[in-house]
Structure 1
C-alpha cells in the first residue's frame, strides 16, 4: 500500500505541475497576444514565422528602394519636360534665323537667346537629386557634365547607373545618363555629337554674320535639334514606362505583405476569447485536483484499514 500511495502522490504532483505550467503558458499568451514564443512550442510554425519576419525585413528594404526610384523617376520626368521645352524653343529660333530677310543684328539677337537656352540645358543636365547626386549621372564620374573655361561642355562619366533592386529578382533603372539624354546625336559625318556642341557651333555661325552662312547653319542645327527632341521624348517615354512598372511592383509588394500578415496572425496571434475559456477550464481542473489531493492527504492510515 505504501508504494501505491507514493505513486498516487507522485502522479498527482506531476499533474499539478503540468496544469500549473499550462495555466502559466495560456496566461502568457493572453498577456502578450502571442501563441508562440519559443521553437519548442511549435517548430514548424516557429520556422515559418522566422521566414515571414525575414521576408518583411526584405520588403522594408525594397520599400525604401521603391520610394527612392519613384522620386528619381518623377524628378527625371519633370526635368525632361523642361529640357523638351528648351529644345522646342531652340527649334523655333532656328526656323526664324533661317529667314533670309533677317539682318545680322537680328541673328545676333537670336544667338543671345540660343546661348541662354544652351546655358539652361547645361544647368538641367547638372540637376542633382534629393541625395545630392547628379540626376543624370553615369556609372563612372562624379558629375553629369562639366563645363570648361572656354564654355565647352563634356560628359562627366560613361555608362548607365545600375538599376535599383525593388523586389526579389526585380530591379528598375531609375535614372538615365546625360550622355543618353543629351548626346549621341548624328553629326552628318557618320559620327555623333551632343546638343551643347550643336548649339555652340550654331551660335558662332549666327554671330559670324552672312545670310548664306546662317541659312546653311540653320538647316544643320534644325536637323540636330529635332534629333535631340526625339531623343529626349524617347527617354521621357521610357521613364514613364518604368514608373508604371514600378507602380505594379509596389502594389504586388503591398499585396504580398498583407498576405504574409494574415499567415503570421494565424500562426502567432492569440485568440483571446478562446484562450480565456481554456485558461478558466485549466484553472478549474487545477483547483479541483488540488482540492482532491488535499482531501486525500488528510486521510489517516486507519481510514484505509477500515
Structure 2
C-alpha cells in the first residue's frame, strides 16, 4: 500500500512539474512571438496600470501633435501670404515714387494707376486666402470673408478675431490675425481707399495726395510687423512640437521597459526551459516503464 501511495505521489508530482514547465515554455514562446513580456494584467498589476496611463498620454499626445501640425501649417501659410503682400506693397511704393515725377506722360500715369489697382486686387485676394480647415487666414470670429471692397474701394473687414488654436498642455496660439490689423491704420484709413485716391489723382493729372502715400507706407510697415509677430509664434509652436516629440519618445522608453521582452534573454530562457522539459519528460517516460508503474495500471 505504501508503495502504491509513494508511486502515485511521484507520478502526480512529475506530471505537475511537466505541466508547470510546459506552461512556462508556452509563455516564453508567446513572449518571443509577440515581443511582449507583459501578456495579461495579472502578470504585473502595477505595470499594467502604468501602461494604461501611458496609453492615455499617447492618445492625448497624438491629438496635440495634430493640433500643432495644423497650427504650424496655418502660421507658415499666413507668413507666406504676408511675404507676398510685402513684395507687392514695395512695388506699390516704387510706383508712387514714379507717379510723383512731374515728367510722366498721361500714358505712363495710366499704366501706373492700372498696376496699382492690380496690386490692390492681389493683396485683397491674399488676405482672403483660406487655411487647411477652409477658414479665412486673416478673418474674424466667423467664416465670413476677411476683406471686401466697399464704395470708393474702401476695405471692409470681418468682425472680431479667430479663436486661438489649442496645442496641448493647456496652451494655445493665435495662428492668424484680422486683416484690419495690418491693412488699416489707427486713424481709420485703409489700403483700398489710399490706393483709390492715388489712382484717381494719377488719372486726373493731379498731385498725389500725401496722406494716401503715408497710409500706403504705414500699411507696408504693419504687414512687416505682423509677419515678424507670426514668425515668433511659429518659432514657439516649433519648440512645443519638439517638446511633444521628446515626451512621446520618453513615454515609449517607459512603455518598452514595462511591456517589451528582451529578445536575447527570452530566447535563452526558452531554450533552457525546453531542455529541462525534454529531460523531465525523458526521465518520466523511463520511470513509467518500470514494472511497478505497469502494476499500478
Q: Does structure 1 retain, via aligned residues, the 8 Å contact 2:21–2:273?
A: yes
Q: Does structure 2 retain, via aligned residues, the 8 Å contact 1:63–1:166?
A: yes
Hey, what's the Cα distance between the residues in 1 that align with 2:13 and 2:41? Answer: 28
Deviation string, structure 1 residues 71-114 (Cα, Å, up to 9, x no partner): 22222222111111222222233334445666777655433332
Match of 1:241 among 226, 232, 242: 232
Q: Does structure 2 retain, via aligned residues, the 8 Å contact 1:138–1:159?
A: yes
| More deviation, 102-111/195-204 | 102-111
Match of 1:80 among 54, 79, 82: 82
Q: Name 1:271's counterpart in structure 2.
A: 262
1:223 maps onto 2:214 in alignment:
yes
Hey, what's the Cα distance between the residues in 2 that align with 1:7 and 1:181? Answer: 92
Hey, what's the Cα distance between the residues in 1 that align with 2:202 and 2:16? Answer: 103
Q: Does structure 1 retain, via aligned residues, the 8 Å contact 2:198–2:213?
A: no
Q: Does structure 1 retain, via aligned residues, the 8 Å contact 2:128–2:146?
A: yes
- Structure 2 vs 1, CA of residues 276 and 96 (structure 1 numbering), >3 Å: closer, same or farther? closer
Question: 1:283-294 alignment to 2 at 5 Å?
Answer: 283-294=274-285
1:254 maps onto 2:245 in alignment:
yes
- Structure 2 vs 1, CA of residues 210 and 285 (structure 1 numbering), >3 Å: closer, same or farther? closer
Q: Name 2:174's counterpart in structure 1.
A: 173
Deviation at 1:148, TM superposition (A): 5.2
Aligned-partner SS, 1:158: coil
Aligned-residue CA RMSD in angstroms?
3.0
Instruction: Structure 1: give runs of 5+ residues left out of the alignment.
Output: none
Aligned pairs, how many?
293
Q: Name 2:125's counterpart in structure 1.
A: 123
Deviation at 1:233, TM superposition (A): 0.8
What is the TM-score with the length of structure 1 in the denominator?
Answer: 0.81
Deviation at 1:202, TM superposition (A): 3.5
